[in-house]
């Protein structure tokens, strides 16, 4: 049993991670700046605190008597959000900076930093049929403006706290995590949740149309939340300390993503492509060679299996909202 701080516990990944850690018998302190009613999941067995971790004193208080820190806290969302809020995304550097300082001062044993595939060089992501990204592709540096630069800088800072101060930092580069109990509307949602929402709304309303950002040929790989949580805990607890990909190698276009969700819903929609909408890089997928070599493991849950669960949850959420009016 360990004493664990989950920063960003009110978020999508954080909520699932807290649940997993509690089930394993750990003592979990869950912290997020959002009001409790806005957390995606709340576990009554955790110590749940509303606190802004961009403030150093709050980080010092949160890391007292803590063995392990999982830092998932960040101001972020899907492509529409990060392209329109670059300064807000970069201010998340205060969270990692202050958590690292506090973790060192309070003698935390291990520190996990949730990085992102947005750190990868843009000139390696210009075509839909991209060669999957390896860890070395982050340099020479040309990450996603704003959000990607913050993640890459915080990776380096985590590295130097390990090298200079002996804090056991671990870093995973998440590739497009999705699943139930997360954001599916409001502007911060990512592509799988957005597509599931749009298809569900079309099915419920009977208006069989869908708006797709861009031409739909842009490609991504998407990792289901259960694989993300398992990989995160594994990386934290092992001895490999360089940044490592945590994502799926099952790459699809956005048009193919819509195909899959249409098949799950049992409908066919007329597609309207918004070529002026944010769409990010043309192609991005994970190369899991290092993950397999280091841990003998990689994400296992197929896209269709994960989307079936995600669509069912989002459909039920939208349906229950409609019934409440």
Q: What are phi and psi of 113, to 5 degrees?
A: -115, 125
The answer to whether the CB of 236 falls within 8 A of the CB of 167 is no
CB count within 10 Å of CB 238 equals 12
147 flagged as catalytic:
yes
Place of tokens 């699932």: 16
- Burial class of residue 125, CB neighbours in 10 A (0-12, 13-18, 19+): buried
C-alpha span between 301 and 315 (Å, rounded):
21
The tokens for 176 are 């497009």
Task: List 286's β-bridge partners, or say none.
Answer: 133
Q: Catalytic: which of 70, 147, 178, 311?
A: 147
**Sequential DSSP letters for 120-152:** S-GGG-SSTTPPPBPGGGG-S----TTHHHHHH
DSSP state of 188: -
Q: Which residues are catalytic?
A: 147
């Amino acid at each position: 049993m360990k004493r664990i701080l989950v920063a960003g516990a009110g978020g999508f990944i954080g909520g699932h991670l807290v649940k997993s850690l509690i089930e394993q018998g750990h003592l979990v302190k869950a912290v997020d700046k959002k009001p409790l009613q806005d957390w995606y999941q709340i576990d009554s067995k955790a110590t749940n605190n509303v606190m802004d971790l961009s403030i150093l004193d709050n980080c010092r208080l949160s890391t007292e008597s803590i063995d392990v820190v999982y830092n998932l806290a960040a101001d972020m969302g899907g492509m529409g959000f990060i392209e329109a809020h670059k300064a807000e995304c970069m201010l998340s550097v205060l969270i990692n900076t202050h958590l690292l300082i506090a973790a060192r001062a309070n003698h935390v044993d291990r520190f996990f930093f949730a990085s992102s595939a947005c750190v990868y060089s843009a000139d390696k992501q210009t075509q839909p049929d991209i060669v999957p990204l390896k860890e070395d592709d982050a340099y020479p540096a040309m990450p996603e403006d704003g959000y990607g630069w913050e993640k890459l800088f915080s990776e380096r800072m985590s590295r130097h706290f390990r090298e200079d101060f002996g804090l056991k930092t671990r870093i995973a580069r998440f590739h497009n995590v999705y699943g139930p109990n997360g954001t599916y509307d409001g502007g911060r949602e990512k592509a799988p949740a957005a597509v599931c929402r749009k298809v569900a709304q079309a099915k419920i309303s009977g208006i069989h149309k869908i708006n797709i950002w861009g031409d739909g040929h842009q490609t991504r790989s998407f990792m289901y939340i259960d694989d993300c949580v398992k990989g995160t805990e594994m990386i934290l607890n092992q001895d490999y300390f360089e940044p490592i990909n945590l994502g799926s190698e099952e790459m699809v276009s956005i048009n193919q993503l819509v195909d899959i969700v249409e098949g799950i819903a049992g409908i066919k929609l007329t597609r309207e492509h918004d070529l002026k909408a944010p769409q990010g890089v043309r192609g991005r997928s994970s190369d899991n060679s290092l993950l397999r070599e280091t841990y003998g493991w990689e994400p296992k849950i197929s896209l269709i299996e994960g989307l079936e669960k995600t669509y069912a949850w989002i459909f039920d959420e939208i349906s229950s909202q409609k019934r409440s009016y």
